Amino acid sequence: MNIEKRFIRKDSLKKLFDALVAKNKVVYAPVTRNGKTSFRIVNDFSLISGDYIQTTQSSKEVTFPRTEKILDFEKNKDGIGVKPVDIQPVHESVIWGIRPCDAVGKGELGAIFNWDSKDEIFNARVAKTTLISFSCSRADEYCFCTSVGGNPGNTEGSDILLTLAGEGGDYLAEIITEKGGAVMAAAPELFEKDPGIEKDKYLASLPARFSHTEIRNKLDKFFESEEWARQSLRCIGCGACAYVCPTCACFDIQDESHGKSGSRVRCWDSCGFSLFTLHTSGHNPREVQSQRWRQRIMHKFSYMPERLSVYGCTGCGRCSRGCPVDMNLLEHLISIQEVTV
């Protein structure tokens, strides 16, 4: 489908939001609390935060919840009854106000969940989610989408992309997919004719800092490098980077029961945890933090491109912002590019 360009006036934005809520969509939008901006279900437009470069967490939780039930079981007199989770009742939802880099993350997650067997639980959620992205007019020192093939006005993955066109507060709306078209159909009168807005003029300027293909080539021979140990010395091995990341998909499968019944759930896990790869025998293939840090970088910038044909990083910078010890991914990637093997 060709991208259709329209124009939305400042005061039409709220009307569009209200129209979506009125259509019974579950709308996730950025809300700021305790100084952190996260996607929450919002019914009231005034609660939405406008002043953020990036949300603390990515929106992946909508399609890949941190705890997702996969089946229920119940012990009965005949043994055990097992009921797979019914994926159909997932609500039609809209993610409002995500950044283009987050929308790219949708595709990267999708690659992981579909490269071999298809994860229909994930796919059902994606199918029912519409992404209304907002281009970036500002970037900070953590952002590096342009270094991994994105840009502040990237349409990839979004259903509609809104670009703030100057001080006036009006928006250029790019309707990218059929889902985006359906949003427009919810309030067609709000989508006016595009007066010919020059989108690029309003986007943040963010020169690329490294070349992801160069990094990828370099990583092929970088496994044994001492750089990993040097970089990860201050890493304390928590899972913050993985949990705020829009593309990290590592998970655990756990059973939880109360009395005779319970559920099996799929829940987030992180390659940064020391017990992630621990064998029951006590042997651990990735014993120290440098090996785990290497896995994180290699997986995103070498293994994923090779096996899944996508990079595992959108350049959103959340991992660096959320890191308690300032493990700055951009800085580390640049240093990998600079170090001689």
Partner 1 sequence: MAEFEPKIVAFVCNWCTYAGADLTGTSRIKYASNVRIIRFPCTGRIDYMLLIKAFDEGADGIIVSGCHPNDCHYTSGNFHARRRWIMFRDLCNLMGIDMQRIKFSWVSAAEGAKWAEVVNSTVTDIRALGPYEEYRRILNHHSKEVTNG
Partner 2 sequence: MRENIYLPYQMKIERVTYEAPGVKTFMLKFINEEDREKFEFKAGQFGEYSVYGVGESTFCIASSPTRKGYIECTFRQTGRVTNALSNCEEGSIIGFRGPYGNVFPIEEWKGKNLLFIAGGIALPPMRCVIWNCLDLRENFRDVTIIYGARSVKDLVYKHELKDWELRKDVKLITTVDPGGESPDWRGEIGFVPTIVEKTAPSAKDTIAIVCGPPVMIKFTFPVLAKLGFSDDNIYTTLENRMKCGFGKCGRCNVGKVYVCKDGPVFTLAQLKDLPDEY
Partner 3 sequence: MDELKNKVRELLGSGTVKVFIGYTTGTAGTKRALFAEKPEDAEGLVFDSSCIQNLAVYVTKQEVKEKGMMGISATLPVMRSLVQLARENQVSDSGIKVIGITPESRLIDFGNLSEVEKYIHQFQLEIDQKNRDMLEKLDKMTVSERWQFWLKELEPCFKCYACRAACPMCYCHRCTVEYNQPQWIPVPSHASGNLQWHIMRAVHLVGRCIDCDACANACPLAIPFNLLNKRMIEDARKHFGGYQPVLSGDHLMSTFKPDDKENFIR
**d(C-alpha 112, C-alpha 304), whole Å:** 9
Q: State the amino acid at position 84 in one-letter form.
A: P
- Tell me which residue of 341, 319, 145, 336 sits closest to 235, measured CA to CA: 319
Q: Which helix (H) or strand (E) holds 227?
A: helix 227-232
**What residues make contact with partner 3 under the rule CB under 8 A?**
34-36, 38, 56-57, 66-67, 140-142, 229, 232-234, 236-240, 242-244, 252, 254, 256, 265, 267-268, 270, 273-275, 288-290, 320, 322-326, 328, 331
Q: Which does 41 bind (CB under 5 to 8 A by kind): partner 1, partner 3, partner 2, none?
A: partner 1
- Site membership for partner 1, residue 41 (CB under 8 A): yes
Site for partner 2 in 90-119 (CB under 8 A): 112-113, 115-119
**d(C-alpha 22, C-alpha 94), whole Å:** 12
Q: Which does 234 bind (CB under 5 to 8 A by kind): partner 1, partner 2, partner 3, none?
A: partner 3
Q: Which does 302 bind (CB under 5 to 8 A by kind): partner 3, partner 1, partner 2, none?
A: partner 2
- Site membership for partner 1, residue 69 (CB under 8 A): yes
What the block records as the tokens of 279 is 């064998």
Count Cβ neighbours within 10 Å for each residue of 129-155 and write b for 16 or more, e otherwise. Answer: bbbbbbbbbebeebbbbbbbbbbbbbb
| DSSP count for the chain of H helices, then E strands | 12, 12
Q: Angle CA(71)–CA(76)–CA(80) in degrees, nearest 5?
A: 45
- Site membership for partner 1, residue 205 (CB under 8 A): no
Residue number, 325 or 341, with CB nearest to partner 3: 325
- Using CB under 8 A, list all residues that contact partner 2: 70-71, 73, 75, 79-80, 82, 84-85, 87, 112-113, 115-121, 223-224, 249-255, 257, 262, 264, 266, 269, 271, 276-281, 283, 285-286, 291, 295, 298-299, 302-303, 306-307
